[in-house]
């Protein structure tokens, strides 16, 4: 099957030579071709170039993109899309003055979602979660990482990971599964942290490996959650099963957690609302990519990741949604990029790099996703007619997406 997209006003994020990620000042550059065509063969990008160089070819379908921008679909490297129910009451409690921490201390927060998840059948969780996946696909997401972490029991964690596996099987979007058993301590292990970590290492991980249910391992390294030493135990155990770490860290406090993650070759460190100069130094010269989650900062009113400071220091940065019931009940990457421009003072070029090629890197899929490169997956957003790609973050709240193509097919 050959599909030809013609008369593209701007074909953006064009990388003739494949790259893994972009860092520092490179993030300000977003290569593009004006008045372009792009040829899709089956599920791959086969050719692209200027309209004037379009060769004579026979195709099965032509899409006229006059006035429209074409770019790679969003690569959302950090979500918790699989969950049961919602946490609307906590939303109202926060409006009335309670903080995220106060709600968690009352047994709300992650433990609230864990209770709901353990009471809900696998089929029902799948049915609720697939609606969120379908929604973000329509919003232009073509690759997504999904975490467990609302089970916190052997059965609960396996149930979540099996739902992620089923989503992988049934949807064309690229999905990476991350095991986040170390998301919070269940109440019965509140005073016995090592006991719960033993359950993670000796009971959960072997079963997950046996069923091949996870690609990565995560922990919530934070004051009041998992300490550096506890997170190190988790990362080391994961490594034994071939699971590279992607760690929640520096969301509320900076406790030198980033150093431990870099030491253990984490693929990404995520959140980073609070970042010290030492953290930035440590991230330099590492292969670990920082991931910012601006919708979370927006929703629970916490600081935004200091993107400018990090980019000025030469670091790469990825942007992801953090879609979850507690701190970010939205997976809309269009809102993520707009918020990063508006609140983090990133430029349109930087946010698009952060949400495509760098997001792909943060999921370990930049060889196949995240740019317009021959041989990569034909995962594309075709916008409505717009003046330029600047309009995407500018017109926040307006749906400017006309069509989404995943694996070569309009969805
Ligand atoms: N901070 C840790 N985990 C999630 C939120 C968990 C929740 O409140 O349900 C996050 O990334 O924001
Ligand atoms: Zn998260």
The 10s digit of each residue's pLDDT in 243-295 is 999 999 999 999 999 999 999 999 999 999 999 999 999 999 899 999 999 99
The set of protein residues with a Cβ atom below 6 angstroms from ligand 1 is: 109-110, 113, 220, 248, 251, 296, 322, 324-327
Question: Which of the listed residues 327, 329, 331, 336 should we mutate to test ligand 1's pocket, taking the one with most ligand atoms within 8 A of CB?
Answer: 327
pLDDT average, residue stretch 79-92: 97
pLDDT average, residue stretch 106-112: 92
Question: Which of the listed residues 83, 184, 246, 248 should we mutate to test ligand 1's pocket, taking the one with most ligand atoms within 8 A of CB?
Answer: 248
Is residue 106 scored above 90 in pLDDT? no
pLDDT average, residue stretch 130-145: 98
- Ligand 1 centre to CA of 110 (Å) is 7
For residue 324, the ligand 1 atom closest to its alpha carbon is: 9
Q: What are phi and psi of 144, to 5 degrees?
A: -150, 140
- pLDDT of 385 reads 98
Measuring from atom 11 of ligand 1, which residue has the nearest CA? 322
State the average pLDDT for the chain: 97
End-to-end C-alpha distance for the chain, whole angstroms: 15
Question: Which of the listed residues 110, 185, 296 should we mutate to test ligand 1's pocket, taking the one with most ligand atoms within 8 A of CB?
Answer: 110
pLDDT average, residue stretch 363-374: 98
The binding site for 4-imidazolone-5-propanoate consists of 87, 150, 183, 251, 327
Q: Fill in the DSSP letter of residue 370.
A: S
Ligand nearest to the CA of 101: 1
- Ligand 1 centre to CA of 224 (Å) is 13
Measuring from atom 2 of ligand 1, which residue has the nearest CA? 220
The binding site consists of 78, 80, 87, 150, 183, 248, 251, 322, 324, 326-327
Into which CATH architecture does domain 2-72+370-410 fall? Roll (2.30)
Cβ–Cβ under 8 Å, residues 125 and 159 = yes
For residue 109, the ligand 1 atom closest to its alpha carbon is: 8
Residue 248 pairs with which residues in a beta bridge?
220, 270
Contacts of 191 (CB under 8 A, 6+ apart): none
Instruction: For tokens 């072997």, name the residue.
Output: 206
The domain limits of the chain are 2-72+370-410, 75-361
Instruction: Give the pair of three-digit tokens for residue 286.
Output: 């590492």
- pLDDT of 285 reads 85
- Cα 336 to Cα 298: distance, rounded to the nearest angstrom: 10
pLDDT average, residue stretch 104-126: 95
Q: b/e for 89-104, b at 16 or more Cβ within 10 A?
A: ebbebbeeebebeebb
Contacts of 184 (CB under 8 A, 6+ apart): 104, 109, 110, 111, 114, 149, 152, 220, 225
For residue 100, the ligand 1 atom closest to its alpha carbon is: 8
Cβ–Cβ under 8 Å, residues 351 and 337 = yes
Count Cβ atoms below 10 Å from residue 404 Cβ, excluding itself.
Answer: 21
pLDDT average, residue stretch 124-136: 98
- Ligand 1 centre to CA of 301 (Å) is 14
Helix (H, G, I), strand (E, B) or coil at 255: coil
Tell me: the pLDDT tens digits for 6-20?
Answer: 999 999 999 999 999
Is residue 193 scored above 90 in pLDDT? yes
Pairing of strands 174-182, 380-385: unpaired
Confidence of residue 334 (pLDDT cuts 50, 70, 90): very high
Is residue 107 scored above 90 in pLDDT? no
The model carries a pTM of: 0.97
Is the domain spanning 75-361 CATH 1.10.10.1110? The answer is no
């Amino acid at each position: 099957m050959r599909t030809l997209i013609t008369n593209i006003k701007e074909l953006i994020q064009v990388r003739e030579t494949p790259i893994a990620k972009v860092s520092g000042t490179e993030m300000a550059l977003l290569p593009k071709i004006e008045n372009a065509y792009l040829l899709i063969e089956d599920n791959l990008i086969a050719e692209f170039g200027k309209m004037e160089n379009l060769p004579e070819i026979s195709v099965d379908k032509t899409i006229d993109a006059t006035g429209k921008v074409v770019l790679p679909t969003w690569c959302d490297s950090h979500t918790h899309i699989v969950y049961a129910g919602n946490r609307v009451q906590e939303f109202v409690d926060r409006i009335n003055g309670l903080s995220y921490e106060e709600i968690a201390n009352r047994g709300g927060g992650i433990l609230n979602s864990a209770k709901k998840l353990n009471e809900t059948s696998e089929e029902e969780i799948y049915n609720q979660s697939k609606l969120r996946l379908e929604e973000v696909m329509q919003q232009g997401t073509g690759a997504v990482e999904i975490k467990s972490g609302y089970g916190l029991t052997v059965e609960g964690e396996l149930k979540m990971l099996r739902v992620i596996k089923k989503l992988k099987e049934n949807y064309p979007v690229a999905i990476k599964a991350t095991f986040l058993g170390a998301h919070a301590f269940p109440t019965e292990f509140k005073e016995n942290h090592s006991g719960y970590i033993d359950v993670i290492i000796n009971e959960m991980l072997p079963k997950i490996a046996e069923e091949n249910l996870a690609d990565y391992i995560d922990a919530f390294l934070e004051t009041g959650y998992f300490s550096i030493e506890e997170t190190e135990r988790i990362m080391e155990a994961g490594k034994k099963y071939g699971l590279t770490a992607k760690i929640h860290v520096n969301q509320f406090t900076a406790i030198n957690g980033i150093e431990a993650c870099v030491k253990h070759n984490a693929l990404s460190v995520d959140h980073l609302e609070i970042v010290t100069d030492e953290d930035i130094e440590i991230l330099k010269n590492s292969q670990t990519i920082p991931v910012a989650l601006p919708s979370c900062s927006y929703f629970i009113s916490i600081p935004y990741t200091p993107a400018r400071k990090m980019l000025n220091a030469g670091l790469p940065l990825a942007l992801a949604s953090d879609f979850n019931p507690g701190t970010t009940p939205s997976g809309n990457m269009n809102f993520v990029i707009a918020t990063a421009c508006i609140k983090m003072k990133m430029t349109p070029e930087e946010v698009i790099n952060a949400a495509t090629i760098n997001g792909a890197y943060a999921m370990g899929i930049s060889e196949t996703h995240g740019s317009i490169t021959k041989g990569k997956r034909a995962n594309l957003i075709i916008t409505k007619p717009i003046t330029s790609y600047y309009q995407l973050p500018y017109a926040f709240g307006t749906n400017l997406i006309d069509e989404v193509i995943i694996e070569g097919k309009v969805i």
